[in-house]
Amino acid sequence: MSTPVHTSTRRPRGKRRIGAHAFLIILAFYFVIPIWWLLVAATKDTAGLFGSPAFWFSGDFAFVENIAGLFEHQGGIYWRWLGNSFLYAFTAGAGATIVAVLAGYGFAKFRFRGSGPLFTLILGSVMVPLTALVIPTFVLLSDYGIINTPWAVILPSLLNPFGVYLMRVYTQDAIPDEIMEASRIDGAGEVRTFFTVVLPMLRPAVVTVLLLSIVVTWNNFFLPLAVLTDPELLPVTVGLNRWTALSNAGAGGEQVWNLITSGAFISIVPLILSFLFLQRYWQGGLATGAVK
């Protein structure tokens, strides 16, 4: 930093920009390279996976064969898994969001007795270890005979305390009391006030909570691992893990490395795309959570 004083207003700044951009490129490289690897690997057959450079395409493009393989292996069960993931993530995500929007509004705009301690309790529940919930949930669901059904994954996934927190914080800022008062004075009941006045103003937060809830269920591994044993019901995360364990342990016939890589690649595309297209929403939503 021995730049003469009179040029110091310009040159260090330019240098710093270059340094900063170099830093960012390295960082971006680190975060993207595994995904790039997966994209490349999805186009290789098993021989190519072992025998060609890891970060570049091999001679023959086997992506189509891999897709065909996913349709053939174990009767195309991969697509069942993918469908299950969609089913679980969207039902649980939508349900959790509806519940969180209502609760967030209730906590933000109504002072009822006990609401403060109750909200603290809900926030504190984030600390409960998953095993402490999954083990008794497993036993209870077995008792009621809904173990090993889609409900065993969907119902417990409706619980999303963080969604309630985000909705509460957002509602507090986005909905002025005056608007609710005005609507009430106009003779609208609480239900109509909520649906016609409040809900439209909450749309960005609703999209955020919906997206985050879907992601949580889509990514869930612990719960389905515990409550599902029927291979037909597994979500794609548990299914692919099962294939990997078999391929690592098993003989040649069970080694389906090319199907694992192409299946994994296909399974991450929908979420990455929705994050890219909905970035306006989740960035705002996470900001809400961050600033409070």
Partner 1 sequence: MTTQATELDPETSRRLATSGSLLVRRRQRWGWLFVSPFLLIFALFLIIPLGYAFRMSLFTSTLAAGTEFTGLANYTRAFTDPLFLEGMLRVLAYGAVMIPTQLIIAIVAALVLDTLTSWASKVTRLLIFVPYAVPVVIGALMWSFLYSPRFGPGATIFDAFGLEAPNLLGPDTIFFSLVNIVTWQWAGYYMVVIYAALRSIDPSIYEAARIDGANGLQTALRIKIPMISSSMVMVVTFALIGTLQFFTEPVVMQSIAQGSIDAAYTPNMYAFSLAFSYSQFNYASAIAFSLGILVFIGSFLFLFLTRKQSGLK
Q: Which of 182, 187, 202 is nearest to 106 (CA)?
A: 202
- Smallest separation, CB 97 to partner 1 (Å): 11
184, with CB counted inside 10 A (0-12, 13-18, 19+), is middle
Which pair of structure tokens corresponds to residue 17?
């920009």
- Is residue 126 close enough to count as binding partner 1 by CB under 8 A? yes
Among 3, 23, 76, 182, binds partner 1 (CB under 8 A): 23
Among 3, 74, 131, 196, binds partner 1 (CB under 8 A): 131
In the list 14, 53, 145, 200, the residue contacting partner 1 (rule: CB under 8 A) is 53
CB 73 → partner 1: shortest distance, Å?
A: 17
Binding to partner 1 (CB under 8 A) within 56-85 occurs at none
Q: Does 280 bind partner 1 (CB under 8 A)?
A: no
Query: Given candidates 4, 7, 9, 112, which one binds partner 1 under the rule CB under 8 A?
Result: 112
- Contact positions with partner 1 (CB under 8 A) in 24-43: 24-25, 27-28, 30-32, 34-35, 37-38, 41
User: Do 41 and 264 form a contact (C-beta atoms < 8 A)?
Assistant: no
d(CA 5, CA 173): 47
User: With contact defined as beta carbons under 8 Å apart, do 37 and 54 qualify?
Assistant: yes
**How big is the site for partner 1, counted in residues (CB under 8 A)?**
99
Site for partner 1 (CB under 8 A): which residue of 15, 21, 203, 280?
A: 21
Q: Which stretch binds partner 1 (CB under 8 A): 52-60, 67-75, 76-84, 145-153?
A: 52-60
Stretch binding partner 1 (CB under 8 A), from 61-69, 71-79, 202-210, 236-244: 236-244
Q: Which of 6, 110, 185, 277 binds partner 1 (CB under 8 A)?
A: 110
Helices and strands of the chain, counted as H and E runs: 16, 0
Binding mask 208-227 for partner 1 (x = CB under 8 A): -------x--xx-xx--xx-
Cα 114 to Cα 190: distance, rounded to the nearest angstrom: 21
Q: Are 166 and 96 in contact (CB under 8 A)?
A: no
Q: Cβ closer to partner 1: 69 or 217?
A: 217
- Residue for token pair 């450079």: 53
How near is the Cβ of 134 to partner 1 at its closest, in Å? 8
CB under 8 Å to 40, separation ≥6 — which residues? 54, 55, 56, 57
Tokens of 30: 């680190």
- The tokens for 165 are 């927190």
Q: How far is the CB of 120 from partner 1 (least distance, A)?
A: 9
CB 167 within 8 A of CB 202: yes
| Span near partner 1 by CB under 8 A; candidates 63-71, 72-80, 132-140, 145-153 | 132-140
* Interaction of residue 176 with partner 1, rule CB under 8 A: no
> Shortest gap between Cβ of 257 and partner 1 (angstroms)?
8
Tell me the DSSP string of 188-227: --HHHIIIIIIHHHTHHHHHHHHHHHHHHHHH--HHHHHH
